Structure 1
Amino acid sequence: MSRRSNGLIGVWAEAQRQQQRQVEARHRAEVQEQRRQEREQRAHEREAARLDREQRAAYRQAREAEARLRTEEIEARVEELTGLLVVGCRAPGFTTGALARAEQVEPFAPGHLAQPVPMPDPGQYRFARAEFERDWHAAQAAEAQRQQQLAAYRRQYDAWAVAQLAEIRRYNAGIAEMASALREGDPDAVVEYFSAALYASTAWPEDFPHQLSASYDPGARQLVLNWELPGFDIVPETKSVRYMLNADQEKEVARPVTQRRALYRDVLAQCVLLALRDLFAADEFGALESVALNGFVDEHDPVTGRLAQIFLAAVTVPRSVFGQLHLEQVSAVECLTEGLGGLLSARPDQLAAVRPGRLPDEVGRGVVSHGGGDDPDLFAMDPVEFEGLVAELFRARGMRAVMTQRSNDGGVDVEALDPDPISGGRIIVQVKRYRKTVPPTAVRDLYGTVQGAGANKGVLVTTSKFGPGSYAFANGKPLTLVSGEELVELLRQHGLRGRLGGGSGASAGAAAPAVPEAEPADGDYNVLGMSWSGGVVLDVCALVCHGTRVLSDEHFVFYNNPRTPDGSVRAVPASAADKAAVRVTFDALPQGADRLVLVAAIDPEADPQADLSGFTDARIRLSDASGAELGQLEVSDGRPGETALVLGSFRRRASGDWDFVIGGRGYTGGLEALVQEYGIEVA
């Protein structure tokens, strides 16, 4: 028979079962939580891997895009060179009519002086008769003064208009006289006119040379000239650019030497044919029966090692023969050598010369030369003549320009009037013939003169260059700064002549000899002082770059590397007005550097949780070596979540001057993420 358990045993057993169920439930919960965490970890790792793949893919795509862009630029250059003759033949021919000026001047515009002074309304005064009479007399006096000023302004305008019309008529009379001389075959007029035709042509690329010497034989009606051709470096050495993923670098595919030589010969032939086309197209008076053209390059003679004119092409062409050609359809090399019987170097890349034809100095008359070392030296030019050349440049750009009196000119050397109804107006021009950098005080003085004269704009023209302080002050103001290199280029573009020192052997495009980097001289530097609102603690750093790549790790100036190897950039203690400072000697920066990038990043030791939302009202204060402030540069505010920011960069212009370009790109990965963009490897 069975025995029933008493009540105590049953209670105990039930308690044991409950306890066991609780243990099992906790175990299941722990297992589930562990699995959940493992799932989240795997999901996080998958997301991180995905982001890493996307970042690597985006980086690869960006580098591949850069390589494609460089390849497209090279291909566009080659296309420009191969189509030189076709494009040039579409340009209109040069004529004397294009030189004439319309006999009209700006209409009289008195501005506010044209508006009569409003008289007081008696109805507004009622019983205040004394007050009405006082205001009425004041208005009458103001109106009388307005009429006097209007009459004086009208007299000034009439005198100016008469002078302007007289100048235009004298100029047009000179053009008519030149046209008459061309009809008569005057040698000097013929040479000057056809030289101007070559210089005025819009067919030539900007970087092609424009040097010539010419004479005219009136008996044979033949123009004889030596015309400079571009050098071998005009043809790109690189054929294409590819991005190599494994090496993480761009690889340049070299253009085969035979292909490069063939393209260069074709360019030389096109240049000769295009010059002939421009000359015959400009001959509206039948002055040219034939043209003898010798094409040369200014290079070092392989035999003597001396700089010389090496002739690579020569041809003599009658007008009747040249007129039968359809230049847009020809093969340039075959047309020159077979169709016209000319000579073309078989190996122009090796400066294999040809025998020139008739030379200008064999004609028996004076040779006229333009370009190259025969241009007048702007440094040696008479001051009045130099100001006159600047005034002529403004007139060549379609403006009315006159030189001011040498005394009591108020700091104005040339006064110009731009007739453009929207962007034009009165322009004050100052001319500074310096050899050293123009000080910022000259720019400040010009701005004061512009304001005092009520002019629309001020232009400062110099034979030297401007520093960052000058550009910082001119930023946002109606001021234009024209450096010496820019002045020479503008003169060339408008058929005027001028060079910056040097002789016939000087080459503006020649590279300076390499010299060891040396410490910059004291007293020739600028200090960039940074300040901002908010309590955020920042590290301010500088990178010396070529493009978007730092020159080397040593050219990254930060707390562990306070200066570059040459000392041109160094961190210095900040003044009381700033929170950080960098000292820069711009003229001493390495030759390969074209950017100085300033960046700021959160100090992770001072406040690892901070971001740049507290970085506001920031600016860079530019000072000279004496501590005098030259200007202030605004920079972008920081944004939440970002821990590093590009403040801006000083960029070297083609003239050698430095401009400031505001930054604003932020990074969430701090200074490490930022500097990696500039090619610095972070371990």
Structure 2
Amino acid sequence: MREDAAVRTEAVEQRIQKLGFVLRSTMPRTVEPLNFEAQKERVPFLDLGDDAVPAPVPTWSDFAPRTGRLRRLLTKEAHRQAAQATAEQAYTNALARYREQEAARLARIEERSRAHHEASGADRRRVLAHNAGVDRFRDRVLTGDPEAVSDYYARVFAPFAARPAGFPRGHRFGYVPESRLLLVEWRLPGIGVVPREREYRYNPATKSVGVHRWRSISEVRKVYGSVCAQLAIRTVHVALYADPDGLVQTVVFNGVVAPDNEGDGGRDPGQAKEGAGNRKEPVCLISMSASRRQFARLSPADLDDPLGELRSRFGARVSAFPDELTAVSPVLPYALADPHLVVAVSGKGPNLLAAPPEEFDRLMERLLERMGYQLTPLPQAPGSYLARRTTGGRAEQAVVHLRRRGGTLDTAEVRALGTAVRRQHAAEGLLLTTAGLEPQAYDYAHGRPLRLYAGRSLLALCRCHGLPARMDPPTAASAPGPVANGTAGPAAGSNGAGPGSSHPADRTRRRPTGHAHPSSTSRPTGPS
């Protein structure tokens, strides 16, 4: 029995050691983009057997009589002519037999090919359709289609989905093409993956083996945090190196755990069920973003403290109490990068890129009001608001910048938002823009209270709050021109009296929305 106690103690120590080597044991040696050609199937092959190779064609050299100076001297002319005639006849007969055999062989091939084509017609059509689908999928991936890129990375990560063995599956991927950003929502194991037992001993009184010492909850949290960090590093590494054509410059990793996941660590089982009963969505326990340039400075093979590296290098947000399912705010929620959600509403609602400035401003104000904010325009800062709301009995204040542009927004806009947050002593800053963001923008936002909603993320945010919208490039005739505050002004040639007018008199005649917001007279007179 004492030996059994020692064996159990050694087993839990080995489990702890294995958890410290999750990254090294599961990191692939080489990561390459998917080979689309290797995913294609081959058309069913027809085995022709001996008929696959034609018989050799008879040649005159095989039948010609021997000649030479000595033979001509020793052989009569009549004999030489008879031998020549015999050889010619044999050669002619051989050619005739060859032609007959070759014609028969070709006839057999044609018959077998016809039979094979009829028998394998369905398989052939299936293979050709499959290969055409692979080509279409490749083209969609290389053009940055969000659904295709998300599906591509689901295939890339399929071999790593449940490694180490026993870890959960069900990972999700989202792609924001405007910012070349890939979001990975990775299902984490519960904290029960870390054994609480530290030492077993034999109890002579009960003649049984039991736990003599338990692992402290602080140590359990530390080991669990290291496991989550290792999974995050592996995920970012694979995502960047499997990029097929420079599609991804920033990777956002959200590590989530199901509320009903087994193994809630040190919590009482009744408390675990009670806490999970009120939750339906996965709980985010770790969230980080890393640009390609940032991650290139990291050496995944030589990390002594993975969690510390993520916090210091990437400003990772990590739950301090994962055993209590205390969530952290994700850098970018999956709902704002879900390709299926964005595609579902892409054909509905106003066009954010071509709508008149007044309509764009009104839609963004309605969005913020549905998020619970009361807005006050900031003076001398078109397109900027001071937003207030009450959450959990506590008042919050945020700075909001609206920027309507195409292409990519300069990182200076994100820096300006951070400066405005400090100047207004706000809790956070929100950037709502139709443009994409550079990787440096996400680098700057690391560790700062800035929430960036760019491109399709803005569309998804509108959809989540019941405001369908779309972003179709405007035509040349209706394309609004840019103005100083970054939003779009009236179309060229407009007299300002149409629906795209930003005249102050038109802006003061807005219909009330029924939500709490500043009066129309307090709005800036210019477009925002």
TM-score scaled by structure 1?
0.35
Larger proportion of helix: 2
Relative contact order (C-alpha < 8 Å, sep 6+): which is higher? 2
Larger proportion of strand: 1
TM-score scaled by structure 2?
0.45
